[in-house]
Amino acid sequence: MPLAPKPTIPSPEAFAVFLAQLTQECHQRGEEWENPTLAQFLEALTAWVEDTGPAWYERHQGEALPAEGNWTYFAHALRTATMYE
C-alpha cells in the first residue's frame, strides 16, 4: 500500500475500507513497519499529529483542515504512523 491513500476519503464508509486495508497489511507485513506494535504505532501517530498534522494537511491538500476533521487526513495520519519516528 502506498504512503498516501487515494486522493480523498470522502466518508466514514470509505475510511472503514481504508482501515480494513491497513489492518490486512499489518497482518501480512506489519513486521516491516517502523512501528509494528500498537504502543509504537500510537506513539508515532501522536507525534506526527502534534508535529505536522494540520500544517501538513494544508501544504499537501492545498486547503485548511476543516474544524470538523477530514477522513483523508485521518487516513494519512494512520498510514504515516506505520513509519513516523
What is the rounded average pLDDT of the residues 69-76? 77
Q: List the domain range (segments joined by +) for residue 73.
A: 35-85
Predicted TM-score (pTM) above 0.85: no
Residue 15 lies in a domain: no
Contact (Cβ atoms closer than 8 angstroms) between residue 73 and residue 18: no
Residue 82 lies in a domain: yes
Residue 29 lies in a domain: no
pLDDT in tens, 25-46: 999 999 999 998 989 988 988 8
Among 21-25, 38-42, 60-64, the least confident range: 60-64
Is a pLDDT exceeding 70 seen at residue 53? no
Which pLDDT score is estimated for 58?
A: 82
**pLDDT higher at 78 or 7:** 78
Structural domain total, the chain: 1
The alpha-helical segments, DSSP class H, found in the chain are 12-29, 38-61, 71-80
